A and B are shown apart, each in its own frame.
Chain A
């Protein structure tokens, strides 16, 4: 250890770097090998969750919270990896999640496979940078080839069948594939509802996901409006309001209070009575103001006390209190209303309108939610997820999010490649072909890149219970012989391995991103030849 530890001319040791004893250092090929080892281990963990027949992982947090997931990024983040290279792999997966939202497992498996191949080349004595150069060349060819094999899928606001198929591919590997069609439809509908098709911009903040334990997955629904996890402020208020005119308030039902510090001295009984009268009058006035502007329901960001509550009931004005900031906003967007900061500003044009507002109750518990439906503006939508237990609801939310991302990506760019690893196999063949024409050492690295691409179909086949090598070689030869690049692994045993016929699509930008980012990450890892780790105190 510690190459920084040095002795001078007379054999006396001296210190150059602070707290040398606490630092560990690895250099040269040893460091690179250790990194590859770590990355491979991480990749192996998520490998089995790839594809429609991939299995889920159970993760228990330090607090005992259980997460069950099939989503690469979720698994990786929850694993709390300590190793630095492992952490890089987590970041890799997260970045795919941020950018594309899907394919988070695939990218990690690819990076792991690339590093595994690099290890062999390192053993042959090839310089790590030559290897990564070769990988980059190969990656360029693969990405160019992706463009060539990609297809444009036509879609319009009325014809969403192809978007639907892509969403289905993404959902294929998730727990929700029991209600495959329904979830895919929800994903497509919700994205189309909020998408700004002209600017090709999708604002995810307008899609709210609300989950509730109970019921079954099939009860999941898309509400073109808002769901608020609150109930009416008074149990005797009507549970349903049709043709609602909603007043959205951010001020409490109470006498106005200055923000400046203030003090009111009450010295006589008369003054006290006056105060009480004043309070009562203000309540009356406020309720009257709301009534006057034509509202028949009130949503308030703050609370109001029982006196106001009963007054509202008397005036037959159902009210919802303590509605949080983001919900108020969504409510305002959905109903085309304006958020009103004080009662004086209330007017009929500032009210939001909704076809129906109702309270929904669940099962035997006293859980209620308020559903605002048939809103004036359908730009804000809520997905209401049901499921047998909390884990399933959470996983269903994540799966839906992934599927929505896929749909969004297609709206941005409607090029697709074929799933079932068809694109990887086709790129592998192409890279292999190109490698033979390269005269330098990079040739080896390029071949290795092609082999690393094969790792994805192999993992898919393995997870689907097919003999991996046999299946892969069969498909590969078929692709070359027939010249069809859409042949892939038939994970679902349908008997057809043309992904075009099976309608298994992946967005082009997702695959492209996987290739590019994984290669860049591998380059970064290969380029490190020196690791200095400052051990923290608890490790000693």
Chain B
């Protein structure tokens, strides 16, 4: 650490390079303390893994209540500040963004890797050696997954669909909706299948939440649904249902208002008043007339539709809704094939969209606009119901995970068995391979092999099974006959060790590959840091309420340990 505090001859005053109050920690102790921090984070979320995993209830400073089982969500809400531990938060989020599921496993795995090599760090093995070993092990493991993964033929429609359903079901197992998974897997797979199969843009699946009803009352709409927007007087006189209506989407304000805010009119004679007023009315009536002339029956706009326009449409049996949010309008366009128009001039029938049926309907305590049976439907809407807002939020997160998984599976049709089976197999494979490697790498790869066992171990623990018993049994089976027992894992339902591939606990191979590589990356990152420099927090007024931070002085003075 040259340049910081020069190791000058004894009794000389130290030369302070950095500002007073700057936190510096360095060397092996720093590394070890980073590892401890990561382990503490892992401890927090380890109980959420698997079908018998529990949820966390987190109340934040704004008193918002979140109940979740999703690793990424929990990690985000924990507000972790320890820099090394934040790496774990980041990989959970990366996994969430990349594959959508397996966020808890990735954090657990990274933590376990660090735990296994902690000993070696203490004994003085250079972190570079460990990192090299990790990378090697990760490569071996990923190649092994690719070898093992079973692929499903896409051309067979029913086979392919059942693959998707199984993957979706596995991801739902640990969630609140676990007991209704038949119901929801169908919904999720239907939703993904109606997307454009090349793009698979998940934004085109709208999720609307309406409190009330049981979760079985959730519905999938093959089109678009959105809440009734604010309406003006006259709205109730409009017709509320149409068969095969033409739809126009606008980005135009249909209100009687000053056309320019900064303009001012000078009136010389009172009689001119009427002329100006008439001119203003003409502007809006021209707009309205051109819309009516196209034959549109449903008028939607992102901007407000005023009371005058509302009543005008009511007179002509046209339905209108103003202040529709952008996402909803985009999805209406996607579904019905219309384009958002920014002006009403030159509006013709070809700009209009079409759907089979439009209606306004009561769902729960709210009124909803439903567009169904759309010709180009590359979009759909899931309307979620549930007993409380927090409940629906968690259902939404769970469905999101499943949707992401199904999306992945559509693109990438290889699957492996879940329930810790693939981890046990990888663990066995790494252990066998390690024996043929000379040098320190052997130890590190064995450590990775052991770390992989954390997934089945935690599954057992959360389910309340005898962990040691299960792990030893699994290890023995995988060692005895790797080919025959390769898909054996923890069967939570039967409380036994069994072939999970046959039980259809399937996960896309990509989820596992991504989990292993990001966990290893994160572990490597943490291991390669041996120094933290934290600038003192700027003295903002908010900071006065913060407690004094204990332990801030560590790492000052002589490096410890050696």
Contacts and interface: CB of A to CB of B under 8 A. Distances in A.
A96 B212 contact: yes
A528 B81 CA distance: 24
A523 interface: yes
Contact of B82 (A14, A301, A341): A14
B263 A260 contact: yes
B311 A258 contact: no
Contact of B388 (A12, A340, A521): A521
Given A14-B37, A530-B56, A521 B391 contact: yes
Interface in B281-298: 281
A332 interface: yes
Contacts, number: 274
Contacts of B269: 274
A533 B63 CA distance: 8
Contact of A261 (B40, B234, B263, B308): B263
A19 B547 CA distance: 7
Nearest to A35: B57
Interface stretch (A58-66, A161-169, A195-203): A195-203
Interface in A311-329: 325-326, 328-329
Interface stretch (B90-98, B328-336, B510-518, B549-557): B549-557
A95 interface: yes
B18 interface: no
B266 interface: yes
A257 B271 CA distance: 12
B65 interface: yes
B276 A258 contact: yes
B307 A250 contact: yes
Contacts of B271: 278
A94 B388 CA distance: 8
Contacts of B4: none
B41 A258 contact: no
Interface in B71-107: 77-82, 85
B214 A517 contact: yes
A4 B44 contact: yes
B479 interface: no
A275 B268 CA distance: 11
B547 A199 contact: no
B237 A332 contact: yes
Interface string A392-436: 000000000000000000000000000000000000000000000
Interface string A330-352: 10110000111110000000000
A17 B80 contact: yes
Interface string B263-277: 111111111011011
B348 interface: no
A230 to B, nearest CB: 15
Given A13-B550, A530-B57, A262 B233 contact: no
Given A326-B233, A329-B237, A513-B213, A534 B67 contact: no
B266 A263 contact: yes
Contacts of B67: 524, 528
B311 A8 contact: no
Given A329-B235, A517-B387, A84 B273 contact: no
Contacts of B182: none
Contacts of A21: 547
Given A98-B211, A260-B264, A520-B214, A14 B43 contact: no
B388 to A, nearest CB: 3
12 contacts: A8-B37, A10-B560, A14-B550, A16-B40, A22-B547, A98-B212, A260-B260, A264-B273, A329-B233, A333-B236, A529-B55, A534-B58
Interface of B: 29, 32-33, 36-37, 40-41, 43-44, 47, 51-52, 54-61, 63, 65, 67, 69, 77-82, 85, 122, 176, 179, 210-216, 232-237, 241, 256-260, 263-271, 273-274, 276-277, 280-281, 307-308, 311-312, 314-315, 359, 361-362, 364-367, 385-391, 394, 463-464, 545-547, 549-551, 554, 560
Interface of A: 3-4, 6-10, 12-19, 21-22, 31, 84, 87-88, 91-92, 94-100, 127-129, 133, 136, 199, 201-206, 250, 255-265, 274-275, 278, 301, 325-326, 328-330, 332-333, 338-342, 512-513, 516-518, 520-521, 523-524, 527-534, 536-537
The 5 closest A-B pairs by CB, nearest first: A99-B212, A91-B388, A98-B365, A516-B214, A8-B33
Given A4-B78, A88-B65, A521-B388, 9 more contacts: A16-B37, A16-B81, A98-B364, A256-B274, A262-B264, A339-B307, A512-B214, A517-B213, A532-B56
